[in-house]
Amino acid sequence: MQRYSGFGLVKHALRHHEDWQRQWRNPTPKPGYDVIIVGGGGHGLATAYYLAKEHGITNVAVLEKGWLGGGNTARNTTIVRSNYLWDESAALYEHAMKHWEGLSQELNYNVMFSQRGVLNLGHTLQDMRDIQRRVNANRLNGIDGEVLDAEGVQSLVPIMDCSKRARYPVMGASWQPRAGVARHDAVAWGYARAADALGVDLLQNTEVTGFKIRDGQIQGVHTNRGDIEAKTVGCVTAGNSSVLAGMAGLNLPLESHPLQALVSEPLKPVLDTVVMSNHVHGYISQSDKGDLVIGAGIDGYNGYGQRGSYPTVEHTLQAIVEMFPIFSRVRMNRQWGGIVDTCPDACPILSKTKVKGLYFNCGWGTGGFKATPGSGHVFAASLAKGEMHPIAAPFSIDRFHSGALIDEHGAAGVAH
Amino acid sequence: MFHIYCPYCEELREEEEFHPKGQAHIARPEEPDACSDEEWGDYLFFRDNPRGIHHEMWLHAVGCRKFFNITRNTVSYEILETYKMGEQPTVGAEHLAREGKTDSVQVAESGQQTVGASDAAQASVKGAQA
């Protein structure tokens, strides 16, 4: 792998940028691998990378039906934070946060991680009590966080309407300074390039059409490019996990919903942090390019159409204009939807299944992007050892029969 | 924007009058005291999530405030029928298969087939739904 550096940039500039190395190979599938990862998004690519780097398992294939990072990785609002309430979630997202902080250096790829901080606003007394509880829980778990009053919020975000005139006045917020945003595409490309350099085969346009299972043990997968064998298969296919599980005769406690986001025309720098509100329900940040990145909740009904409904757009923009009257005449450039698989307790599933050697990593709902490095890291460890990593273990599918749910609704700071 | 025909109001109304309430035809176990943890978990949490025909319950929240059912395609978003509570759907995945409309549609069994659930448990739950 040709390393990227300032010196390299100058060298290539002198050669008119004509001989940059391709970022990854485009190999033909081998008959078999040690491990197959189904799904070439951020989580799948990160899993492959950590399998090769931390566990020395380089005979790995990542199967992607479209192109790398073309699913939800390319369809989110790029927010990264770890201010979750329950110990299990806090451990998982903080594990990811620690990886984010060194990720650009580790991958030799600028993922544009920017620790500009995240505000979760409170608009009612109950909101403020919940915020205090969550920040206290975070600090007990060693995660940074503060409770701000309305004046504190106003001084951080001067353009926000923190007056008492608002229909839902801002009473305060939780503030995680280490949180922020990262460039979503660069995360997928950085992991892809680094995994490829370690020998992982990234197979694009390769769609899994079924599983080969014998005596309760996974033997491999059927694809549109022929059968590929492996004794360990990890499925990381976000919105389509139920469809894939169905091919193996499994059912998952998931419902797939469209989640949409919008991007405005580019503006001069006006917002230097991330603002989220669960109560009026919208979240917003400004990208390095200048456009406002806006998101909100899922459509209420199940759906696999990657577009989302108009009432949700209207509801989202009402919330944004309520908080930021200054944006009332900003034009929206683009709107898009991704398919998220939501769990009954708003927490992901990282689990073995009753098919030996077949693992699922799914159910991230609206919050998977922030977990990308941590999810990949613990899932790789689980696949390598055949036992779920201690951080992943509480997220086993067994919890829906044992009752040990991790009830992160509301506590996650944004609704599902 | 959906335009949904409420079978009680007998009118087409806009989507914003309604709330989706998840999968339809989920029956509470007939003998709750005899259920295992697995059966309770299946009943509470495991749902059909088909890429295709889905029977779901909706609430006419700011209309007649009654629950009713919709058969809808989760890929094309086409609403195939709406019907009152207690009635059975007349359109299903098999119906579409006959008409050759199944491109990219996964045929899902209604009912709750779940990870780890015994065949007998599934049969009893399905029996209760019929």
In this structure, the number of other CB atoms found within 10 A of the CB of residue A236 comes to 29
pTM beyond 0.80: yes
CB A315 within 8 A of CB A281: yes
- Chain A residues with beta carbon closer than 8 angstroms to that of B75: 304-305
The answer to whether A305 faces chain B, any CB pair under 8 Å, is: yes
Residue that has been written with the tokens 């690519």 in this structure: A45
- Chain B residues with beta carbon closer than 8 angstroms to that of A400: 41, 44-46
Residue type, A250: L
pLDDT band with cut points at 50, 70 and 90 for residue B108: very low
Q: State yes or no: pLDDT of B5 exceeds 80.
A: yes
CB A56 within 8 A of CB A352: no
Nearest Cα residue in chain B from A352:
B115
pLDDT tens for B44-57 read 999 999 999 999 99
User: CA-to-CA distance for A381 and A388, rounded, in angstroms?
Assistant: 7
User: CA-to-CA distance for A133 and A226, rounded, in angstroms?
Assistant: 53
Give the pLDDT score at A85.
Answer: 94
- Chain B residues with beta carbon closer than 8 angstroms to that of A254: 47, 49
Q: What is the least distance, in Å, from the CA of B74 to any CA of chain A?
A: 5
Torsion of CA A63, A203, A340, A247, to 10 degrees: -30
Measured distance between the N- and C-terminal CA atoms of chain A, rounded to whole angstroms: 41
**Domain span(s) for CATH 3.50.50.60 in chain A:** 28-115+179-254+343-416
Q: Quote the tokens at residue A29.
A: 């599938």
User: CA-to-CA distance for A299 and A256, rounded, in angstroms?
Assistant: 10
Enumerate the H helices of A147-280 as residue ranges: 150-156, 184-197, 241-247
Task: Taking residues B38-44, report their average pLDDT.
Answer: 94
Q: What is the ipTM of this complex?
A: 0.89
> Containing H/E element for A51?
helix A42-55
Compute the residue count for chain B: 130
Task: Taking residues B97-107, report their average pLDDT.
Answer: 52
Asked if B37's CB is within 8 angstroms of A401's CB, the reply is: yes
pLDDT band with cut points at 50, 70 and 90 for residue B81: very high
Q: State yes or no: pLDDT of B128 exceeds 90.
A: no
Is A5 in a helix, a strand, or coil? coil
Asked if A341's CB is within 8 angstroms of B49's CB, the reply is: yes
The answer to whether A407 faces chain B, any CB pair under 8 Å, is: no
Nearest Cα residue in chain A from B39:
A401
- Chain A residues with beta carbon closer than 8 angstroms to that of B74: 256, 302-305
Phi, psi of A213 (to 5 degrees): -125, 130
Q: State yes or no: pLDDT of B22 exceeds 50.
A: yes
Q: Are strands A255-266 and A332-342 parallel, antiparallel or unpaired?
A: antiparallel
Partnered with residue A71 across adjacent β-strands are none
**CATH code of the domain occupying A28-115+179-254+343-416:** 3.50.50.60
Asked if A246's CB is within 8 angstroms of B115's CB, the reply is: no
Reported as half-sphere exposure (CB side, CA atoms, 13 A), residue B87 has a value of 15
Is B21 in a helix, a strand, or coil? strand
Is A317 in a helix, a strand, or coil? helix
- Chain A residues with beta carbon closer than 8 angstroms to that of B15: 309, 311
- Chain B residues with beta carbon closer than 8 angstroms to that of A305: 74-77
In this complex, the residue of A246, A302, A309 whose CB is nearest that of residue B106 is A246
Top pLDDT among A325 and B115 is at A325
Give the pLDDT score at A323.
Answer: 95
Asked if B106's CB is within 8 angstroms of A243's CB, the reply is: yes
Give the pLDDT score at B103.
Answer: 46
Give the pLDDT score at B121.
Answer: 40
Partnered with residue A277 across adjacent β-strands are A121, A282
CB A96 within 8 A of CB A371: yes
Asked if A341's CB is within 8 angstroms of B38's CB, the reply is: no
Give the pLDDT score at B92.
Answer: 83
Closest alpha carbon to A85 in A406, A415, A416: A406
Give the pLDDT score at A413.
Answer: 58
Q: State yes or no: pLDDT of B83 exceeds 60.
A: yes
CB B75 within 8 A of CB A304: yes
Partnered with residue A266 across adjacent β-strands are A291
**Domain span(s) for CATH 3.30.9.10 in chain A:** 116-178+256-341
User: CA-to-CA distance for A38 and A236, rounded, in angstroms?
Assistant: 6
Residue type, A189: W
Residue type, A263: V
CB B123 within 8 A of CB B112: no
Phi, psi of A288 (to 5 degrees): -65, -25
Phi, psi of B109 (to 5 degrees): -75, 140
CB A191 within 8 A of CB A42: yes
Closest alpha carbon to A243 in A201, A297, A302, A308: A302
Where chain A has pLDDT below 50, the residues are none
Asked if B38's CB is within 8 angstroms of A243's CB, the reply is: no
Q: Does domain A116-178+256-341 have CATH number 3.40.50.300?
A: no
- Chain B residues with beta carbon closer than 8 angstroms to that of A303: 74, 77
User: CA-to-CA distance for A13 and A223, rounded, in angstroms?
Assistant: 42
Q: Is B22 exposed, middle or buried (0-12, 13-18, 19+ CB in 10 A)?
A: middle
